[in-house]
Amino acid sequence: MPLTFGMIGASTIGPSGLVEPAARRPDVRVARVAARRPGAAAEYARTWDIPRASEHYEDVLADADVDAVYIANAAAEHARWTIAALRAGKHVLCEKPIGVSGAEGRAIVAVAADSGRLVMEGFHYRFHPLFDALRTLVGDGRYGPLSSISSSVNGTRPYDPQSILHVAALGGGALLHNGVYAVHWSRLLFDAEPSEVTARQRWNPSGADSDTIATLRFPTGTTASIHCSFDQDDPVSLTLQLAEAEVTVTGPIVPHHGNSLRVIPRRGAPTMTTVAGGTSFDHQLDAFVRRVGAGVPDPSTAYGRGDDIVANLDVVDAIRRAARSGGTEPVRR
């Protein structure tokens, strides 16, 4: 029997994030979509050939045919509906950010452990072979230890007080929608958690950040600098400094739209590699299906390195505190 999904939110990310990857697999189907805006779910269902549509999220959770729920509504509601789906006995694949605070992350992980269901936050980039190649390059020691990471995740999004991207109460802001990627891959590449942060933010009239600059400091003295903005449209960039080389990655978030791994060694000629593979969303869905089929591991080890959901959101909390205080803030755990 195929793994059957219901969708909470008729989102623009939904087709690439779930519907299209599911259509490429015989063992996954999408059976229902729910959206609160009148007519939105029905239109979405017609467009994407989804059998059932509803204007109530609760209908997805009550559907006995649904094994797993894909959540892609406003970020401020992600934790609430992730927890509700887990309590309804469903596995959950939730778009990032899965919550807006470390406290929400802890609540999610606790409920997932009690439910025995899988919860996965949609950092899809992490499942593409490009990231595997990058982690291997960093981890095998050929260029010495990693000392610093610099990331920029920008994209012009003019302020719209009606948009969930820009309203603080709905979980809007550049940090939650862009910067969490850089926080996440910095933690994974260092294979460590930052101990303290400094940050500056610029806020829009709703109180959401339109621009965030942060520095994460790790216990070993290594650093990760992050810039995320709705006010600039620079390409996404990721640069790593190792003892014996500089490594630049293009296309780190959506590698299937084009990527490269450029290594400039301190000695020797530069090299550039392109890493093939399906879409990062296909790889993510494959990982989700395999983990469900394997009997669902403890959600705290969904990424093989502890409470990943909680750890990422703890850093987000620290960045916010540092921006408000103007000083250095510890990452509280």
SS3 303: coil
Tens digit of each residue's pLDDT (9 = 90 or more) over 233-260? 888 999 999 999 999 999 999 999 999 9
pTM of the model: 0.96
Tens digit of each residue's pLDDT (9 = 90 or more) over 102-142? 999 999 999 999 999 999 999 999 999 999 999 999 999 99
What does the pLDDT read at residue 234? 86
The whole-number average pLDDT for the span 216-242 is 96
Pairwise CA distance, residues 108 & 233, whole Å? 33
Instruction: Collect all residues with Cβ–Cβ distance below 8 Å to 190 and sequence separation of at least 6.
Output: 146, 149, 218, 222, 224
What does the pLDDT read at residue 4? 99
Full set of structural domains in the chain with CATH: 3-122+284-302 (3.40.50.720), 129-277 (3.30.360.10)
Question: How many CA atoms within 13 Å lie on the side-chain side of 322?
Answer: 24
Give the H or E element holding residue 264: strand 260-265
Answer whether residue 303 shows pLDDT above 60: no
SS3 227: strand
